[in-house]
Structure 1
Amino acid sequence: MNYRHSFHAGNSADVVKHGLLIALVRALQQKPGALTLIDTHAGCGLYDLGGDDAQRTGESAQGVVRALADPNSLLADYRAVVQAVNVGAEPHLYPGSPRILAQLLRPQDFLILNEKHPADAYTLRGVMRDTSAAVHERDAYELWLAMVPPRTARGVVVVDPPYEQLDERDRITATLAAAHRKWAHGVTVIWYPLKERATQWRWKDQLRKLGIPKLMGVEHWLYDVDQPGSYNGAGLYIVNPPYAFVQALPPLLEALRAALAPEGHRGEITADWLRE
């Protein structure tokens, strides 16, 4: 499955991913100690919702546009980061994870971004020039292992690949296992698209066998009945989610489900611990 950021900017998957990422970082920032935030597949950082790629799919209408129109206070932080890069009520630009994480930084925090694609890396450097972020152009999985443990005691690694390669999930699994051995208390967030349940079940079983004590899976299924052969939603695996985040998760998930449910569908969003 090819999931390039520019074609899907601001869709329902972005709303869930970024809504939960904001909540997770805010929960970690309840303690004053410095954080290092690492984005392994950073993309371009900022996307034109009126551009050819985004207009080809039109997915933002069922994602960010609906979230901005939803008055639920639990989505206020998400709405704020989107509105920060826009003028007026209608979203014309969508901030990717790099711009969102940059907005969340405190003076003591650090942001490390990586994008292997040369053209996207060039764009990313321009988009992030007004921030303190360090931008790398390396293989994502090599960088992931090289950067952990970070210099700060705490940190978050965000892994958000386009799933262009058939072995993407295998590389994530192997790198996560190696990274966890180096940095057992680190927080890792892995995004993935949901297409076929059988594929997801097999990968979940592989991750469960890693024996990571605190590994949570969040799954957002858009439709009441799966649409064969097409995109059905997205999820996150989160290693070592902080306690404050876990406690606040149920009402936030319900707010996201309600805001994003397609016409005629209730949808489903769940969070469960993976256990051997």
Structure 2
Amino acid sequence: MNYRHSFHAGNSADVVKHSLLISLVQTLQHKQGGLTLIDTHAGRGLYDLDGDEAKRTGEATRGVLQAFADPNPLLDDYRAAVQAVNRGGEPHLYPGSPQFLAQLLRPQDFLILNEKHPEDAYALRGVMRGSSAAVHERDAYELWLAMLPPRTARGVVVVDPPYEQPDERARITATLAAAHRKWAHGVTVIWFPLKDGATHWRWKEQLRKLGIPKLLRVEHWLYDSEQPGIYNGAGLFIVNPPYAFTQTLPPLLEALRATLAPEGHKGEIISDWLGD
């Protein structure tokens, strides 16, 4: 599956991913110690919702625009982060994960961004100019391991690939196993699309076999039954999520499900431990 950010910016997957990422980092920031935030597939950093690529799919109308139309206060932090890169009411620009993370930085925190595609890396540097972020242009999986353990005791690695390569899941699995050996207490967030249920089930079994004690899965299924051959939703694997984050997760997930459910469907968001 080819999932380039520019075509899907602000869709339902982004709303879920970025809402949970904000909540996760804010929870970790309850402690004063610094965090190192690492984004291995950072993309361009900012996307034009009125551009040709975003307009071709129109997915933002069923994602960020629905979130802006929903008054649920549990989505206030997400909406505020999107509004920060816009002027006026309805958003026309969508921030990528680098900008969501940059908005959350405290003076004691560090942000490391990586984007392998030269054109996207160039755009990312322009978007992040003036921030304290370090921008790299390297293989994502090589950088993931090279940056561990980070300079601070705690941190988060965000792995958000476009799934262009057939071995993407295998590379994630192998790199996660090596990363966990180097940094067993670190928090890792892995985003994934849901298109083929059988493929996803096989990958979950491979991840389960890694034996990582605290591996949370969150799956957002848009439709009431799997729709063969089309995009069905997306989710996150989260390694070592803090307890306070998992305790506040259910109401946020329910708010997201209700906000993003397509017409005629209730949708479903599943959250449980992969080892259960």
Counterpart for residue 186 of structure 1 = 186
| Cα distance in 2 between the residues matched to 1:110 and 1:244 | 22
Counterpart for residue 94 of structure 2 = 94
| Cα distance in 2 between the residues matched to 1:184 and 1:236 | 19
Counterpart for residue 173 of structure 1 = 173
Give the match's secondary structure for 1:226: coil
Compute the displacement of 1:198 (Å): 0.6
Counterpart for residue 106 of structure 1 = 106
**When the two structures are superposed, what TM-score results if normalisation uses the length of structure 2?**
0.99
Compute the displacement of 1:96 (Å): 0.3
Question: % of aligned pairs identical?
Answer: 82
| Cα distance in 1 between the residues matched to 2:68 and 2:153 | 35
Compute the displacement of 1:222 (Å): 0.1
**Letter of the 1:182 counterpart:** K
Runs of at least 4 residues off by over 6 Å:
none
**Letter of the 1:242 counterpart:** P
Compute the displacement of 1:69 (Å): 1.1
Counterpart for residue 153 of structure 1 = 153
Counterpart for residue 22 of structure 1 = 22
**Equivalences for residues 1-276 of structure 1 within 5 A:** 1-275=1-275
| Cα distance in 1 between the residues matched to 2:86 and 2:69 | 15
- Report Cα offsets for 1:77-98 as digits up to 9, x if no partner: 0000000000011110000000
| Cα distance in 1 between the residues matched to 2:72 and 2:154 | 31
| Cα distance in 1 between the residues matched to 2:262 and 2:222 | 7
| Cα distance in 1 between the residues matched to 2:239 and 2:75 | 23
**Letter of the 1:255 counterpart:** A
| Cα distance in 2 between the residues matched to 1:258 and 1:79 | 16
Say how many residue pairs are matched.
276
**When the two structures are superposed, what TM-score results if normalisation uses the length of structure 1?**
0.99
Give the match's secondary structure for 2:68: helix
| Cα distance in 2 between the residues matched to 1:75 and 1:196 | 29
Give the match's secondary structure for 1:27: helix
| Cα distance in 1 between the residues matched to 2:216 and 2:201 | 14
Give the match's secondary structure for 1:43: coil
| Cα distance in 1 between the residues matched to 2:274 and 2:268 | 18
| Cα distance in 2 between the residues matched to 1:130 and 1:7 | 27
Compute the displacement of 1:214 (Å): 0.3
Compute the displacement of 1:24 (Å): 0.2
Compute the displacement of 1:130 (Å): 1.9
Compute the displacement of 1:184 (Å): 0.1
- Report Cα offsets for 1:104-146 as digits up to 9, x if no partner: 0011000000000000000000000021000000000000000
**Letter of the 1:256 counterpart:** L
| Cα distance in 1 between the residues matched to 2:275 and 2:266 | 28
- The answer for unaligned runs of 5 or more in structure 1 is none
Compute the displacement of 1:233 (Å): 0.1
| Cα distance in 1 between the residues matched to 2:43 and 2:167 | 20
- The answer for unaligned runs of 5 or more in structure 2 is none
Compute the displacement of 1:53 (Å): 0.5
Give the match's secondary structure for 1:181: helix
Compute the displacement of 1:275 (Å): 1.0
| Cα distance in 1 between the residues matched to 2:97 and 2:111 | 11
RMSD: 0.6
| Cα distance in 1 between the residues matched to 2:21 and 2:199 | 24
Give the match's secondary structure for 1:177: helix
